Chain A
C-alpha cells in the first residue's frame, strides 16, 4: 500500500502542526489515514510504510498500533459494527443487541460474515451513555438501538454496498 498524493499532502499538513523535529506526534493520526486506505486494518506492511514516512523505527509503530483499540490488526468486513457493552449501555439492553446481531448475521464477536460484509466487535464506553444502547459504524454513532433499528442498519449497509458495486 502507498498513499495517494492527496494523503501524502495530508501527512505533511499533520506534521506541520508540531514543532520542528517532533514529527513522531503525527503517528496516531497517520495510522488512522493508513487504516482507512487499507480497508480498515493495519498489516505489518502498512505499519512499516508508516514508519518509513515518519522516519521512525517500525517497532515504534507496532507498539502504538497494538496499544490503541481503534486499530484493527487483522482484516475486518466492509462494515464494522462496534457495539458498546459497558455498564450504562448494559443497563439499557446492549447484551440483547449484541446477541441479536450475532444471531442475525450468524457470527460471533470478533468474527466477519462469510461474504466479507460485516464484522462484529464489542467495545468499551464510547461516550454515548445517554443514548444507549449504541454502536459505532465508521465515522458515526448509531444510537438508541433496538432490534428493528439493527435490521434497518444492516439493510442500509447492504443497499449502499450494492449501489457502490
Chain B
C-alpha cells in the first residue's frame, strides 16, 4: 500500500466536521506551527521539497521566499481552487471531503507568510463546496484557530471564500488576481510577479489547494521526513484524478513510487481499461500536457519502465514524454479517435482563451476549425501541416501559458498519431459516416467550412 498523508483520514465518518477532525489529530499542525517562527515554517516547507500541485511543479518553499515584505504593506495568500483543467477534479475531492485539511493548511501558510486576509478563489460551478468551506471556516473561528490573536500568538487571520463565475483562465495566478479584484480574468504581464505586486498591488502568494493541504503533513512530520516519501525530486505524495475509459475513475493519492502500468492496471488504482478494451493512449497530467500512445506511456524511449513521478513522466521531453501537470489522468481506449478528442480539447481552449493575445485568440479558433474539417473528412493532407504551423505560432507567443496549453495537445496528437489524421483525409466517406463528435452543432461543417 502506498503511503498516504492527505487522504489517510478520508474514510472516517464525519471527518468533514470540526469535532471529528480535531479528535483525529486535526489542528495539531497549527498548534505546532504557532510555536515556531514564521521563517522556520517556510524553512520546513523548503526542506520538504514540495512542488506546486496545480500543474507547474515549481518548488513551493522557493515561491514563498520570493514574497516581498515591505514595511506597512499587507501581504496576501490566495488559495487557487479554480480547478478547471480538463481531467482534473482532485481539489474538489479535498475540499468536499476534507475541508479542515485545507483550512488548517491555510492557517499555517498564512502565519508563515504574514497574511491576515486570506482568500480561497473557487471556481463558480463548485457552488455547494462554498457552503462546506464556509462551515469549516466558521467552525475554525469558533475553536479559536482563526480570528484575532490566534492561540495567543498575536497573529490575526481571517479566511474568505470567493466564488468565480466560469473561466478556465482564472486558474492562471495573475488572471485569478484580476478576477478577485472584480475584473475580467485577463492575465497580467510578468514581471512584476505577484510576490512583488499581486492582489491590490500588494505582495501575494497564490498556491493550489493540494499544495496548501500538503503543508499540514509537512509540519506534522517535519520537512525532512516528508521529503523521504517519493522518489528523487518528486517528494511527498500526489493526488491523481483518473478518468476516461477505466474501470475505477476517481481520486487517488500516490507516493510516486508506482509505475504508470501499475497505476492503470492494478485494482488499487484505475483497475484496468473498461469493457475489456485495450489501452490506446493517455494524457497523464491534465488536458494541456502531451498525449502519449500506450507504448511510450508505459515505457520511456530508453525502454525503462515509466514511473508516476515528475521526472519520469517528463522523460524524453515533448518528443517522447509528457508531464505530471495537475495530475488529471485521462485514459483513452482503443475505440477512441485521437482527432476527435483533440478537436474537443481545441474547442475547449478556443472557448477559454481570454482574447488578449492575438496568437491565442485567433490561433485557438483556427485550430478548432482545421480540426473540425479533418475530423469530418473534409480535410486535405496539407491541413495537417497547417495545424502544426498554427500551434507553433501560438506556443511561447502569449502573455500567459494558456497559449502553450492549447498548442501542446495538438502538437502531441500530430506527433504521435499522424497516421490517424491521414486516415481521416484518405477515408473521407468513412470519417463522415462515423458521425463522431460535437452533437450540439446542427451542422458541424457549417462551423468549420462556412
Chain A contact residues, CB within 8 Å of chain B: 17-19, 22, 24-29, 31-32, 56, 60, 63-64, 67-71, 85-88, 90-92, 95-96, 98-99, 102, 108-109, 122-132, 136, 139-140
Is B113 on the interface with A (CB-CB < 8 A)? no
Q: What per-residue 1/0 map shows which CB atoms of B111-144 lie under 8 Å from chain A?
A: 0000001010001111110000000000000000
- Given A124-B347, A129-B87, output 7 extra A-B contacts at Cβ < 8 Å: A17-B160, A17-B162, A25-B180, A64-B182, A90-B341, A123-B166, A129-B243
A-B contact pairs, 16 of them (CB 8 A): A17-B162, A22-B200, A28-B182, A32-B124, A60-B183, A67-B167, A68-B124, A68-B165, A68-B167, A91-B333, A91-B336, A108-B442, A125-B168, A127-B126, A129-B89, A139-B127
Is B364 on the interface with A (CB-CB < 8 A)? no
Docked-complex contact A88 and B163, CB < 8 angstroms: no
- Shortest CB-to-CB span from A87 to chain B, Å, is 5
Docked-complex contact A28 and B165, CB < 8 angstroms: yes
Docked-complex contact B165 and A85, CB < 8 angstroms: no
- Shortest CB-to-CB span from A109 to chain B, Å, is 4
- Shortest CB-to-CB span from A55 to chain B, Å, is 12
**With A88-B244, A140-B128 as contacts: A127 and B89 at CB distance below 8 Å:** yes
* A67 and chain B: residue at smallest CB distance: B184
Of the listed residues A32, A87, A95, A132, the one surrounded by the most CB atoms of chain B closer than 10 A to its CB is A87
Docked-complex contact A91 and B89, CB < 8 angstroms: no
Cα-based distance from A108 to B127 in the complex (angstroms): 26
Q: Which of B32-40, B145-153, B245-253, B302-310 contacts A (4 or more CB under 8 A)?
A: B245-253
- Shortest CB-to-CB span from B243 to chain A, Å, is 4
Docked-complex contact A125 and B84, CB < 8 angstroms: yes
Cα-based distance from A110 to B86 in the complex (angstroms): 22
* A99 and chain B: residue at smallest CB distance: B439
- Shortest CB-to-CB span from B195 to chain A, Å, is 19
The contact of B164 among A28, A92, A102, A122, by CB within 8 Å, is: A28
The size bracket of the interface on B is 35 or more
Cα-based distance from A17 to B181 in the complex (angstroms): 12
Residues of B83-112 at the interface with A, using a CB-CB cut-off of 8 Å, are 83-89, 91-92
Residues of B179-212 at the interface with A, using a CB-CB cut-off of 8 Å, are 179-185, 200
Is B265 on the interface with A (CB-CB < 8 A)? no
Docked-complex contact A88 and B125, CB < 8 angstroms: no
- CB neighbours (8 Å) of A63 from chain B are 183-184
**With A17-B160, A68-B166, A124-B352 as contacts: A130 and B251 at CB distance below 8 Å:** yes
The contact of A129 among B86, B180, B182, B345, by CB within 8 Å, is: B86
* A21 and chain B: residue at smallest CB distance: B200
Chain B contact residues, CB within 8 Å of chain A: 74, 83-89, 91-92, 117, 119, 123-128, 160, 162-168, 179-185, 200, 241-245, 249-251, 283, 287, 328, 330, 332-333, 336, 340-341, 344-345, 347-348, 351-352, 354, 437-440, 442
**With A64-B182, A87-B348 as contacts: A130 and B128 at CB distance below 8 Å:** no
- Shortest CB-to-CB span from B390 to chain A, Å, is 19
- Shortest CB-to-CB span from B152 to chain A, Å, is 25
Docked-complex contact A86 and B167, CB < 8 angstroms: no
* B89 and chain A: residue at smallest CB distance: A127
- CB neighbours (8 Å) of B168 from chain A are 124-125
- Shortest CB-to-CB span from A20 to chain B, Å, is 11
Docked-complex contact B125 and A64, CB < 8 angstroms: no
The contact of B244 among A19, A85, A91, by CB within 8 Å, is: A91
- CB neighbours (8 Å) of B86 from chain A are 86-88, 124-125, 129
**With A90-B341, A125-B86 as contacts: A22 and B181 at CB distance below 8 Å:** yes
- CB neighbours (8 Å) of A139 from chain B are 127-128
A-B pairs with lowest CB-CB distance, top 6: A69-B166, A68-B165, A130-B249, A27-B182, A70-B166, A129-B243
- Shortest CB-to-CB span from B413 to chain A, Å, is 11
- CB neighbours (8 Å) of B438 from chain A are 85, 95
**With A70-B125, A98-B440 as contacts: A31 and B165 at CB distance below 8 Å:** yes
Cα-based distance from A109 to B444 in the complex (angstroms): 13
Docked-complex contact A19 and B74, CB < 8 angstroms: yes
- CB neighbours (8 Å) of A29 from chain B are 162-163
The contact of B88 among A108, A124, A129, by CB within 8 Å, is: A129
Docked-complex contact A25 and B242, CB < 8 angstroms: no
Docked-complex contact A127 and B84, CB < 8 angstroms: yes
**With A28-B164, A129-B88 as contacts: A92 and B185 at CB distance below 8 Å:** no
- Shortest CB-to-CB span from B90 to chain A, Å, is 9
Cα-based distance from A102 to B164 in the complex (angstroms): 29
* A122 and chain B: residue at smallest CB distance: B440
Docked-complex contact B163 and A28, CB < 8 angstroms: yes
- CB neighbours (8 Å) of A127 from chain B are 83-84, 88-89, 91-92, 123, 125-126
- Shortest CB-to-CB span from B121 to chain A, Å, is 10
**With A67-B167, A85-B344 as contacts: A132 and B182 at CB distance below 8 Å:** no
The contact of B241 among A91, A102, A130, by CB within 8 Å, is: A130
- CB neighbours (8 Å) of B125 from chain A are 70, 126-127, 136
- CB neighbours (8 Å) of A31 from chain B are 165
Cα-based distance from A64 to B166 in the complex (angstroms): 11
- Shortest CB-to-CB span from A18 to chain B, Å, is 8
Cα-based distance from A123 to B86 in the complex (angstroms): 12
- Shortest CB-to-CB span from B257 to chain A, Å, is 23
